[in-house]
Amino acid sequence: MNKKYKKLILSIIFDAIGMATILPFDLIWAPISGYLMTRMYKGNLGKAAGVISFLEEIIPFSDVIPTFTIIWFYKYVIKKEDKNEETVIIDI
C-alpha cells in the first residue's frame, strides 16, 4: 500500500478517535492530536496543522471537524504533493 494512502487511513482513524472523545478525554487527546499531526506532515504545513488540530480538539463541540482528513486532502489532492508515487501510463 502506498504511503499516501496509509496516511489517509491513519487520518480517518485519528479523526474517529477525536470525534469519539468526551470532554475530559479531549484535554488529553488535544496535545496528542497536535503532536501526531506534526509527525505526519513535515514543515510549515505540519506545524500549522498541529496548531489547528490542537485548537479543534480543545474547543468544546468542534470535534466533528475531520482535521486530519482535511489536511490529507489539502496536501495530496489540492496541492498534489506526491513525490514518492510513480506515474503509471496505461495504454488503451
pLDDT tens by residue, 13-38 = 999 998 887 878 888 999 999 999 99
Q: What share of the chain is helix, strand, coil (3-state, %, to 5)?
A: 70, 0, 30
pLDDT tens by residue, 35-84 = 999 999 999 999 999 999 999 999 888 888 899 999 999 999 998 876 65
DSSP 1: -
Write down the pTM of the prediction.
0.80
Predicted pLDDT at 88: 46
Cα 1 to the chain's mean position, in Å? 18
